[in-house]
């Protein structure tokens, strides 16, 4: 039920602000300067960070940006979504206090900081992956600092709103790659079904044409799957046959 004291926009951004403050205090010694949160459906990324992306019109201040992709909120646990936030906070820490290298590259300093907060850098999102590189992700270290503090009761109620319009998102680990991060466990399909959502594996969202043949006159038509059409001349229903794309 909607919090009577908060509108949806206020509620989701209040949650993100509280989570940022929480992790800043417990994982970053309250070093980080704050940020401007945005929700953006950037393709193939859970989130990203941009330094000094916003400035006040009167030039009295500036703010870093941390963006999260709401299209994935329904398909990931709160812990995994918050790990994206902390991942971007590590980028913010390095931009403000460390020595980043070329744009988008995740160097050894970044990797060491990730480990120190309880997120293991890996280009595959699994144990054994490279710790540094241009496109990187992470997995949560069991019993590490992030997982330990993330068990706090106040974080269990974060990310109250999810995007039900994003009905199809990549479900596999390697489908998501970007500067921010990528990778996730398989989604809870039963829970998604209750929300009216579905997932699709990469490469399966291409359009599929089905060949429909009239069994009487053998006239052929092509269309999307599960059509129910009849031949006007023969008054019989067409039979569907997948169109062959390669020779037997």
- First-to-final CA distance of the chain: 56
243 has a pLDDT exceeding 70:
no
142 has a pLDDT exceeding 90:
yes
Confidence at residue 203, expressed as pLDDT on a 0 to 100 scale = 42
Alpha helices for 75-223 (secondary structure H)? 78-97, 108-117, 145-150, 189-194
Helices 108-117 + 78-97 axis angle, to 10: 130
How far apart are alpha carbons 129 and 126 in whole angstroms? 6
How many angstroms separate the Cα of 60 from the Cα of each of 56, 92, 208?
6, 21, 55
**Phi, then psi, of 39 in degrees rounded to 5:** -110, 120
Q: What is the dihedral of CA 149, 152, 154, 155, to 10 degrees?
A: 50
Give burial (CB, 10 Å; 0-12/13-18/19+) of 133. middle
Residue 47's nearest CA partner among 38, 56, 55, 35 is 38
Confidence at residue 141, expressed as pLDDT on a 0 to 100 scale = 96
pLDDT in tens, 204-241: 444 557 788 888 888 888 887 777 788 878 878 888 76
Q: Kind and range of the H or E element at 20?
A: helix 8-27
How far apart are alpha carbons 53 and 56 in whole angstroms? 11
195 has a pLDDT exceeding 60:
no
Structure tokens at 230: 């009849």
22 has a pLDDT exceeding 60:
yes
186 has a pLDDT exceeding 70:
no
- What is the average per-residue pLDDT within 35-45? 89
Of 60-64, 131-135, 141-145, the one with minimum mean pLDDT is 131-135
pLDDT in tens, 66-87: 999 998 888 788 999 999 999 9
pLDDT in tens, 154-174: 898 899 998 877 645 444 433
The three-state DSSP-derived secondary structure of 54-74 is EECCCCCCEEEEEEECHHHHH
Classify the C-alpha dihedral 37-71-41-179 as positive or negative. Answer: positive
Confidence at residue 164, expressed as pLDDT on a 0 to 100 scale = 77
pLDDT in tens, 104-125: 889 999 999 999 999 999 988 8
């Amino acid at each position: 039920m909607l919090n009577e004291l908060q509108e949806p926009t206020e509620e989701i951004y209040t949650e993100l602000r509280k989570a940022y403050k929480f992790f800043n205090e417990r994982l970053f010694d309250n070093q980080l300067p704050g940020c401007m949160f945005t929700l953006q459906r950037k393709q193939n990324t859970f989130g990203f960070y941009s330094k000094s992306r916003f400035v006040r019109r009167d030039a009295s201040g500036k703010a870093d940006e941390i963006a999260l992709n709401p299209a994935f909120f329904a398909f990931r646990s709160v812990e995994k979504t918050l790990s994206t936030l902390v991942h971007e906070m590590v980028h913010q820490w390095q931009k403000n206090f460390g020595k980043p290298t070329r744009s988008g590259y995740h160097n050894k300093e970044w990797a060491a900081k990730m480990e120190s907060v309880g997120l293991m850098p890996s280009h595959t999102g699994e144990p054994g992956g490279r710790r540094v590189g241009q496109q990187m992700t992470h997995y949560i270290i069991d019993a590490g600092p992030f997982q330990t503090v993330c068990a706090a009761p106040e974080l269990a109620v974060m990310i109250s709103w999810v995007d039900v319009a994003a009905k199809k998102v990549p479900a596999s680990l390697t489908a998501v790659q970007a500067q921010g991060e990528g990778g996730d466990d398989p989604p809870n399909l039963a829970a998604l079904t209750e929300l009216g959502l579905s997932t699709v594996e990469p490469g399966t969202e291409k359009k599929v044409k089905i060949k429909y043949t009239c069994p009487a006159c053998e006239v052929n038509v092509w269309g999307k799957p599960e059509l129910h059409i009849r031949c006007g001349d023969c008054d019989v229903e067409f039979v569907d046959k997948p169109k062959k794309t390669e020779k037997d």
